[in-house]
Structure formats: structure tokens, C-alpha cells
Chains A and B, each alone.
Chain A
Amino acid sequence: MIRDPIRAGLASGWKVTDAAALDRDLALDADVAIVGTGAGGGVTAEILTAAGLDVVLVEEGPLRSSTDFRMLEAEAYPQLYQESAARKTLDKAITVLQGRCVGGSTTVNWTSSLRPPESTLRAWREQFGLTGLDAGALAPWFERMERRLSIQPWTVPPNENNALLARGAAKLGIATEAIPRNVVGCWNIGYCGMGCPTNAKQSMLVTTIPAALGRGARLLCSARGERLALHRNRAVGLECAALDGRGVQRTGRRIRIRAKHYVLAAGAIGSPALLIRSGAPDPYRLLGRRTFLHPTVISAAVMPQQVDGFAGAPQTILSDHFLEPATDRPLGFKLEVPPLHPALFGMTLQGFGAPHAALMRNFRAAQVIIALLRDGFHPGSAGGVVGTRSDGSPVLSYPLTPAFWASARRALLVMAEIQFAAGARSVLPVHERARPYSSWAEARAAIDALPLEPLLTRIVSAHVMGGCGMADGPQRGVVDSGGRHFQLGNVSVHDGSVFPTSLGANPQLSIYALTARNASALAEALTGKTPAIG
């Protein structure tokens, strides 16, 4: 029997309130209210409670834990993901995967734990004046979070899906490397995206949040942070709506939290949307802008052997060979591999009827590479804009530009070439006009001729960044390099929305490290004491 640390903690008296079950409105007071329990909210809660501060965490999703994680897509997507994993950009061209549960995306991510490339930090210094954020200054914070979350190189041999990326790339002289993972005693099962059933993944759900709750923090789940009440450039309250047990409708119960300081960690769509709904000052019209996605294109191959992309640690090999822009790619890209599970794979593959069924019959021989494009660096890649619908829900408008399409075509070519080098029988670019091609020459000619357009080319994202970008002044940023809002004195943003460009790396570790730095400074500002470095 696997020990469930959440059930054990609840039994020990943690102060957790499921807002879905509230039969009356609530009013709470705290030192700090934190909206969101993902990478930013979790680390902030741990550091602030260690400094003795009284913290309330507000989470839109439910509290689920290893006992609930049955590795079934039919349960995991509606319970653990924003919009049942069907969140899309305004024009429906990009599917956006984000967690919505206690632990946020860290509960459902694929464990890749990477520091950002130096070229990203350099761009931040040069274009946004973020001189304090060089690799040397950040190193202690990365080291601290790598220790805290047991982030280490993964020494188990990669599963076949990942090994094929390494072998195909090696044949072409393209370097690959192993991806460090945040796991302890991982069973190498392959269902990280549906919540870790063995608690091996060191997500916020099993690390920082239990630590904070053990020190008396309060957690409200199934509660949506809707708006900050503002008065003279300060927040004077956080207004939350209780959601029903499935997280679909408001129940009508309200929660109002009064705090000395407010930390937004609702993710790079949620945090800007909360500030927009609050009518936060935005004198330079920057709020919700420059939102980045690492927009991702997909290449599916059929191998002669069994690949079983559903089994084994899902994402353990990457290639940064194409990470920097070049003449054939205005946007650089990162090559990685996704886990393959039937529902997500089936809805992602193009077509319907007999041709689609034929693709699915090769499920166990399927190998997939993804290319994550590095948006936000090229002048023709300014990202998207977060806004709100009439019901207050957030929506991201993300234009796909010529610079993006040129790089996407290059990425589809590279992936197909690697897959053929790895021995693929056929390669299928995931695009409505593409079909399986049986040689590199045939694939190359077809990809060169594909009409790359929204809704024909399948584009996905699991990395939302920006929208409350940090900078050295209010003319080019929403928050400063410490995450403090430029206009609202007692509001901070601690999540991926502070990144002024995309990262060029899977974001969780960058969010952890920057948040550890900024939450420590916040703890010092609020208590007058320097927190001990854990």
C-alpha cells in the first residue's frame, strides 16, 4: 500500500477547506494570501510559513492525491487540467495544457527540470534591464531548489520513445542530452501527466504544500481567485468564488480574504486575467501582453519495433542543437518527446474514419518528437495577449506570425529526418494536409509544400509564460525583478507570467528558483528578518 501524504496530513488536522462544500460565505484574515498552488504558489507558501507568516492558499482546482491518481485519461483531464485539457487560444489554433489542481501544473507535468539557457538571461539583461538575474546570481537559488526537489540526472536508460530521438539524432551528428528529473524512487511507469500514483514526483503537492500546511497555513481548494479589491494603489482584499465539485459552475458562496500582502501565482493566463478583472493600473498597456507559449509542432513516426510510448519515464532526452535562431529558423527550437496515451494521441492525430483508425492501430509502434519554438526573442514573435470573456474567464489571443511558420517548417523537416535516421517505416507530420510518408525524400518534398496555417497545422503548448513581465522600470514591465507590482504596493507575482520572453527550457525549475529568491526577499520585507536558507 502506497502511503498517501495528503490523506495522512488531512487526518493530522491540516487546515484545508473544500469551498465546493461551503454552505455559507467566508471571511478570512492572513498575513499573505497566495492565489495558485503550482510552482510559484507552492514555493512561496513554504518560504513564507518558514519565516513565521500566516498564509492562506487559494486554489481553483480540487485537492487530489496519489490514492485518486488511477492513471486514466477519462478522470485525469477533467479533474486535474484547466478546461479539461481542452483550453485553446482564441482562434482555437493552439491547445494549451495547464494543471488545475493542488500543485498546479507540477502535479501533472512530465518532470523535466532544466535551468534556462544563458542566452535567455542575456536577452533579459539587454532588453529589459534585468541585470541582477545572471546565471551566477541565480545559481544559489537553482541549487537550493534542485536540492529541495531532488532534481538529478536520470540515470535509468530512456524508454524507446526517447531513445529513438537520441539514436536518430546521433546518426545525423545532432547532439542530445539527458533531462534531469524531480523524482525520488521513481517506478518508471510513464503516467506523470495524470498525477504521480507513487508520490515519486517531487511536485508541489508532496513537497512545499505539505510543509506549509504542516506549519499551519490554510488551503482553500475549489475556490477561484476572481479579483483584488483595490484602494489607492494597494490591494485591500481578495474576492474568491466557490466552485462546485467538478469545478464547472460557481456555487454562489463567496470567500473574502484580507491580507497584508497578496501573491499572484495563478499561472501566466490566470495571473494577468486576475489583475485585468481587478482593474489594476496599467499605465503603459503591458498587462497580459507578451504572453508566450513555446508553440509546439508534432511529428509522429511508425517504427518497425514496439515503442510503447505510454510506458517509462515520459520525457528524458532533449536536443538543443537548434535552440538558437539561424538563417533557416528565425525562432530556435528545442526537440523533446511526449508520452503517448490513447485519448490525447487520438484527438491530436489528424483525420477521421478509416485513415485515422489505421494510424491508431500502430499505436504501440508510434514514436513522436515535438519541437518547442522559442517565442519572444525575434521582433516577429511578440507573443499573445490575455483578455477576459464577458463571464470573466481568461482567453489568450496568440497570433501565429511568418517568423513562427518559417521555423515550424524547419522543425517539421528536422524531426522527420531524425525519425527516418532512427529507422522509421513512415513519418506523419501532424497537419491536416499531410499523410504518412515512407522515405525522407518523400517527406521532405511534402513538408516543403505543406500550407502552414492555423487549424491545418496542429500546434500545442504546455508552457505558458509572460503577461506580467518583469523589467527594470514600469515603462517596460508589470513587475520588478523581485516580482513586486510596479503600481500596487502590496502585490507580487510569483509564477511564469513574470518572464519577459519565453525561456527556451521547460519552465518549472526557473519558476521554482526565481520564486525562491523573490519569496525570500518578500519574507524579509514583511518580517524584518533575513530568512534562513533551507
Chain B
Amino acid sequence: MITRRQFLRYGVRGAALLAAAGALRGQPAYRAATGDEPVRSLSASDRHVLAAVAPVILAGTAAASQPVEAIVGSIDRAVAGLPPHLQSEVGQLLALLASWPGRRWIAGVGSPWVEASREEIAAFLERWRFSRWALLQQGYHALHELVLAAWYARPDSWAAIAYPGPPEVS
């Protein structure tokens, strides 16, 4: 847990860390897609963060009955379609969260992502959502949109909200 006072202390260091995490990571890995080959834009550590965070954002949906890897795969494909500047921002955010100081001090999550409890992750999301720091609010919104857009674009999410899908047109 990070208090406002602590953040003031760590804020500058956090911004520097964010920049460093991005710089270390460099340009996001990119492989040109032709046809239906699987598209990958995220690193293994990026995927670990999302595999922990996505089930908390999607709590209460039918996502719990799907393998989390499938949902992370949908997010990965969506990120691969973003322009380079957005891929780079998503990469910086996930690299920050995957790093020990980023997770511990900026996100305030004490346990490694695979061990963190749902409550701990939900508390982190709430802190960022209502943070006074625009950078953290932006990080919350990025996670919110990536996860929810990827999930509700999947036909396996539709039954629970009674969406029949598009009509037949021919």
C-alpha cells in the first residue's frame, strides 16, 4: 500500500522508473502478421501481469470459466493491432508493473503477481483509478479498456449479457 505522502516521495523516482522500464524494454517486439498466424506483441512477463489483473477486472463475468491464457491472447492480439506509439506505452506500463519496484512501490502489490490475492489486486486498481496522479489514472484506464474491450469482443462473453450477436445477412 502506498500513501499519498509516500507517493510524493517516490513519485519522481516512479516517473524515472517508468521511463527506465520503457527504455530497457525498447521497442515492443513485433512480428508482421500474414493471414491467420498468431500475433504476439507482449512479453512473457507482460502476460503474467495480465493473467493476474484480467480475472479481477472480469470478476463476475463468464470469464472465470475460460482459460485465462485465452483472454490474455485476445488482449495480445488487440495490442498488436495498435499503432507503435500505443504499443510502446502499453509495453512501458506492463514492464513497470512486472518489475519488482514497480509492483511493490508504484502499484502497492506486495506479493508477486502469481501469488497476489484478488483483494490485493482490486485494491491496487482502485488506488490507481482514483489516484491524484494522472499517470496512474491513465494506467488504470489502459488496463480497464484493454481487458474489457478484449473480453466483450469475444463471442464467449455474449451469452451472459444476452447479446445474440450480429444478425444473418446474405
Contacts and interface: CB of A to CB of B under 8 A. Distances in A.
Interface residues of A, number: 48
A360 B61 contact: yes
Given A364-B163, A455-B138, A84 B81 contact: yes
A347 interface: yes
Contact of B166 (A70, A347, A432, A454): A70
A193 B129 CA distance: 29
A79 to B, nearest CB: 8
A346 interface: yes
Which among B34, B61, B161 has the greatest number of chain A C-beta atoms within 10 A? B161
Question: Majority SS of interface residues in chain A?
Answer: loop
Which among B61, B84, B125, B152 has the greatest number of chain A C-beta atoms within 10 A? B152
A486 to B, nearest CB: 31
Interface stretch (B13-21, B100-108, B141-149): B141-149
B57 to A, nearest CB: 4
B162 A364 contact: yes
B115 to A, nearest CB: 19
Interface string A353-369: 11011101101100000
B169 A83 contact: no
A364 B160 CA distance: 11
Interface stretch (A32-40, A104-112, A244-252): A244-252
Contact of A363 (B137, B144, B163): B163
Nearest to B166: A71
Contacts of B30: 248-249
Given A92-B138, A352-B56, A356-B60, A84 B85 contact: no
A391 B151 CA distance: 31
B83 A347 contact: no
A73 B153 contact: yes
A244 B74 CA distance: 21
A360 B161 contact: yes
Which among A70, A310, A357 has the greatest number of chain B C-beta atoms within 10 A? A357
B81 A72 contact: no
Given A1-B170, A352-B57, A83 B82 contact: yes
B148 to A, nearest CB: 4
A455 B125 contact: no
A86 interface: yes
Interface in A318-373: 342-347, 352-354, 356-358, 360-361, 363-364
B10 interface: no
A346 B152 CA distance: 7
B63 to A, nearest CB: 9
Contacts of B78: 78, 84
Contacts of B60: 353-354, 356-358
A310 B149 contact: no
Contacts of B169: 2, 71, 187, 189, 197-198
Interface in B95-145: 122, 125, 129-130, 134, 137-138, 141, 144-145
Contacts of A358: 60
A393 interface: yes
Interface in A73-88: 73-74, 77-78, 83-84, 86
B157 A361 contact: no
Interface string A85-103: 0100001100000000000
A364 B161 CA distance: 7
Given A83-B83, A86-B82, A92 B141 contact: yes
A77 to B, nearest CB: 8
B96 to A, nearest CB: 16
A342 B166 CA distance: 11
B19 to A, nearest CB: 14
B84 to A, nearest CB: 6
A360 B58 CA distance: 11
Contact of A72 (B58, B80, B122, B166): B166
A119 B166 CA distance: 40
Contact of B144 (A72, A83, A347, A391): A347
Contacts of B160: 360-361
Interface of B: 30, 32-34, 56-61, 74, 78, 80-87, 122, 125, 129-130, 134, 137-138, 141, 144-145, 147-154, 157-158, 160-163, 166-167, 169-170
19 contacts: A1-B170, A72-B153, A72-B166, A73-B149, A77-B153, A84-B78, A84-B82, A86-B82, A248-B81, A342-B153, A342-B157, A352-B122, A353-B56, A353-B60, A356-B57, A357-B61, A393-B85, A454-B134, A455-B138
